[in-house]
Amino acid sequence: MKGAVLDEAMNVLAETSRPTARHLGPDAVVKSVLTALEELAAHPRARTATAAGLVVPGMVDAQTGTAVFSENLGWADVPFTELAVARTGLPVAFGHDVRVAALAESRLGAARDRHDVVFLAIGTGIGAALIVDGNLLEAGGYAGEIGHVRVAGSEPCACGGQGCLETVASAAAIARRYGERSGRATDGAAEVLARARSGDAVARQVWHEAVEYLATALAIGSSLVGPELVVVGGGLSLAGDDLLVPLARRLDELLTLQRLPSLAAAALGDRAACLGAGLLAWELA
C-alpha cells in the first residue's frame, strides 16, 4: 500500500509504502491501512492538512464510505470513512483505487483532454475504470469489473467464478501459469517476460495467451463503451511495448465496425491512486 502528503498542486511532500500483508487476514489489513493513514496525517509536512483521501480495491460504495467486498483482501462491509475520520480527525474522501487512478490520469497524465477512456490496471488482479463523455462511470460501485469477465476455461477465481480474465492475464496469473507449465520457480511476471525475450518457449506461450485474453476483454469493452483511448496501468504496464504493441495489433484484428482505441502506458506510475485520492481530498478541503 502507498500513501502521500500532497499540496494543492499535487506535489508530493512526503510519501510512504508498506506491504499489504494480506496473508495476515482482512482485519490486519484494515488496521494497517488506518495506521498508515494516521501516520501520514501526523507527518510534519501534513500539519496544515485539511482533508484526507483513502482508496481501496474491490467493490466500494463511495457514498457511504464502505468497502463492500474484496475477494483478494477478504474484507466485507468495512466502514472505512467512519474509521478514518475517527483516526485522523479530518474529513475523508473515500473511493475505488482504479477509478481514482483513472481520474488522476485524466486530469494529470496520459488521458488528459480525452473524453472516452478505459483505464486498465493489471497487477495482482485486473480492474478497469470507464470515463464516458468526460464523466467517470461508477454505476453504484459495480462498473469496471473487467477482471471478472469470463474469457477462458474453468480456472477457479477468488470471486467464486471460473475462467475470469484475472485467472489467466493478471501479473500473478502469468507467473503462476508459467510455473505450472515449466516446473520452474519465478519471481513474477517480469521474470516470465525476461525469459520470453530470451527465447523460452513456455514463457512466450504464456505471455501470448495473456495478451490474447486481454485483447478479447478489451474488444468487449470497446464494443460497449467505444473508448478513444485505453490507458494501461498497474505493474504489468512496465512491460511497455512488449505488452502494448501485440495488444494493439490483436485488438485491431478483433474490432471491425467499432471505434479502434489507441493504447498508452499510464503516465503517473504507481503514484496514480495516491494522486487520485489527493484530488478527491482537495474537493473536500
pLDDT in tens, 203-252: 999 999 999 999 999 999 999 999 999 999 999 999 999 999 999 999 99
Predicted model pTM? 0.90
In a domain, 88, yes or no: yes
Report the C-alpha gap between 96 and 117 in whole angstroms: 17
Residue 163 sits in the same domain as residue 280: no
pLDDT in tens, 174-208: 999 999 999 998 999 999 999 999 999 999 999 99
- Its domain, for residue 164, covers 112-267
Q: What are phi and psi of 123, to 5 degrees?
A: -145, -125
% the chain with pLDDT above 70: 100
- In sequence order, what E strands does 57-209 have? 59-61, 66-69, 76-78, 92-96, 117-122, 126-132, 135-137
* Structural domains counted in the chain: 2
Residue 66 sits in the same domain as residue 153: no
Q: Assign residue 199 the CATH number of its domain.
A: 3.30.420.40
Residue 82 sits in the same domain as residue 221: no
Residue 139 sits in the same domain as residue 20: no
**pLDDT for residue 152:** 85
**pLDDT for residue 25:** 87
**pLDDT for residue 230:** 98
Residue 248 sits in the same domain as residue 120: yes
**pLDDT for residue 140:** 85
Is the per-residue pLDDT at 285 higher than 80?
Answer: no
Residue 90 sits in the same domain as residue 132: no
Residue 153 sits in the same domain as residue 19: no
